[in-house]
Amino acid sequence: MKYLNFIATVIVSLGTTSSAVMACGFPVVDANDFHECDWSGKVLKSRDLSGTNLSGANLSNSDLRDANLSGANLSGTKLGDADLESANLSGAKLNGATLEGATLDGATLEGANLTEANLYGASLQQVRMAGANLSRAVWMDGSVCADVSIGECTPR
10 sits in which H/E element: helix 2-14
Cα angle 152-103-15, degrees, rounded to a multiple of 5: 105
Mean pLDDT computed over 12-21 = 41
Superfamily of domain 32-156: E3 ubiquitin-protein ligase SopA (2.160.20.80)
- The helix/strand/coil state of 68 is strand
Which pLDDT tens digit goes with each residue over 60-72? 999 999 999 999 9
* pLDDT tens per residue across span 104-145: 999 999 999 999 999 999 999 999 999 999 999 999 999 999
- Could you state, in order of their start, the residue ranges of all structural domains in the chain? 1-30, 32-156
What global pTM score does this model have? 0.82
Q: In whole angstroms, what is the distance from residue 28 CA to residue 14 CA?
A: 14
Residue 139 has what DSSP assignment?
P
Is 122 within 8 Å of 142 (Cβ atoms)?
no
Q: What is the pLDDT of residue 35?
A: 86
Q: Name the burial class of residue 7, with classes exposed (0-12), middle (13-18) and buried (19+) by CB atoms within 10 angstroms of its CB.
A: middle
